[in-house]
Amino acid sequence: MSYVLQNTVFPLDRDPDLLPLYVDPETWSIIDEEPVRVSNRAQLGNILGRTSARIVAGRRVSFGTYFNAFAASYWQHWTGVRQVTLTVRTNGPATILVYRSNGDGARQRLDTREVEGTVSTSFDLVLDQYGDGGFIWFDIVADEKNVLFTGAEWTTEHEPVRDGKASIGITTYNKPDYCIWTLTNLAESPDVLEVVDRIFLVDQGDRRVDAQAEFPDVAASLGETLQVITQPNLGGSGGFARAMAETLARPGNDFVQLLDDDVRLEPESLRRSIVFGRYTTVPTLVGAHMFDLLDRPKLHAWAEVVDEEPFMWRAVFQEKLPHDFSAANLRQSPMLHMRLDADYNGWWMCLIPLAAIREVGLALPAFIKWDDAEFCLRARSAGFPTVSMPGVALWHVSWVGKDDSIDWQAYFHARNRIAAGLIHSNLPRGGTLLRHSRRVDLKHLMMMQYYPVALRHRAIRDILSGPEHMRANLATAMPAARALAAEFPETIVHRDVGVALRARRGRAVFTQKRRNEFDNPTGLRLRWFTLSTLLSHWFHAPRPENVAQPEVEFGKTDAHWWRLPRYDSALVSAADGSGRNIYTRDRRKFRRMLLDTVRLHRRLRREWPKLSAAYRDAAPELTSLAAWKRTFEDAS
């Protein structure tokens, strides 16, 4: 029997920005060590359907792209599959070339066939030389006539290790339009639904998905596969925990596929992740990469890890992201051909085997932030690894147009990172976590951002109160954090164009030369800058005229922590460009919060061993199915 591992597909949307992710009809050259297009621009008109396309006479088209190359190294490393068959269907005179790459991205040809007429051409491939990385892909060259490409798939006769289906758990809060789009595309993907048992839509908002005009039609298309669950807002962790709990009660399921609400999904990715999960030699979490929903060729997240020393998340090649596939496709990006191992994957899309949930429990009651990383670390300790799988991805709004470190989410960033560190860090007193946390406070204080500091201090006080607070304030921590913003005028975004907001000195303009001159201070210069700034803000009151009117204006990208502290007040553009915030130095708040920062971090460091033991002891109960069921019952 033959099993389909991967289908060759074209984009659902007729969006030219998406073409480089699916098909590459470009000719490339290397100029000054950079890949540059030479000719043959992509044409949407040649995409005829989900699996078919026209290849114009005399043109060469490569399927060595993000969504259509076969991630051979991952299949070799994580599964027992060693024999794969590539079948390519064409109509017309053509040449089919099959290539592979190694972990350095070097290309090697594996096979070549000349074909004509309506044919299916098969290539038998062996997965035995991809330990460090590498893909397999094919190119098609049309001869004197146009060629019709009608589909291709990668198959194996190797039987899967497990054959259970997956439930999909979508957690949503007031994003009905996105959810309708996702449900509609799933309803139109029968090959995906073949491996799906249930779609649990956990609706925690007041803009209900099932109240949308399009919902009856999509619900009718999905039938019993779709189940809508309503509950109060318990955050992402509460919604995903509900999906986990519901899936555990479904016989014949081996996985739950967690899916965020504000995304655009590639349905084939969902199918691929489930199939890959069926083949892994041990039950494995299969994570999706994240592209930018507002700049769709840009890859923003893949292969993420938690650094042990500061206990902080990052991508393996943080400095290389985002990667723009419209500027350098897969074949021109050697870094992308390496097999990269991950510590965790974001829950924008992540397949979790039920065996892992039964062994380690459900999500930590964290509301948002760090629940995905903490779960993956917990699963890894029990022998369930996480794979960040190439060719499995979706589009999600990236963090480029927002700054959630200074809004109500600052509480959860701080609280949940420390809680996860208390549970999982193997270094004395969390390594440099507390030092880093204290530095974050100092930067906010020097930048006159007092609201996030107040939230971070509340987070530490809650941590010090013991692990029981996490479930106790699951439904109340977010509204309380948002309510606190009323006490901090800098949180107001001034959007009214009728209100003239002007800085006394005008806009601070930083040329490239000045950017370099005033770059992030380091070493002794950093210590002197920090000490002198803290002393200045402690002893010197702001000038009255600077309090009455902002002293200077900054663009968001120029408003760094080593620039703002030089002024008494500043007008700063909001991250999304929707307005401006006014930051004004407040000596009384600064003094009180600086002392609180020192005292709270000193106490947290002193009590770390005791707190760590308490949080580790409490983790099994906090994440247990029984505890979550009580939470759902109490919230209903």
Give the catalytic positions in this structure: 372
Phi and psi, residue 321, nearest 5°: -105, 150
Q: Which of 571, 587, 594 is nearest to 537 (CA)?
A: 587
Looking only at the bridges linking them, the beta strands covering 94-101 and 136-142 are antiparallel
Phi and psi, residue 281, nearest 5°: -65, -30
Are the C-beta atoms of residues 410 and 460 closer than 8 Å to each other?
Answer: no
d(CA 208, CA 430): 42
Q: How far is CA 121 from CA 58, 68, 109, in A?
A: 20, 17, 17
Amino acid identity, position 266: E
Are the C-beta atoms of residues 166 and 285 closer than 8 Å to each other?
Answer: no
Tokens standing for 618?
Answer: 């409490």
Are the C-beta atoms of residues 138 and 90 closer than 8 Å to each other?
Answer: no
d(CA 99, CA 92): 21
Phi and psi, residue 85, nearest 5°: -115, 130
Q: How many CA atoms lie within 13 A of 411 on its CB side?
A: 24
Are the C-beta atoms of residues 62 and 23 closer than 8 Å to each other?
Answer: yes
Residues written for the chain: 636
Q: How far is CA 340 from CA 77, 291, 306, 460, in A?
A: 11, 17, 14, 34
Are the C-beta atoms of residues 389 and 302 closer than 8 Å to each other?
Answer: no
Q: Which of 242, 225, 135 is nearest to 474 (CA)?
A: 242
d(CA 419, CA 101): 42
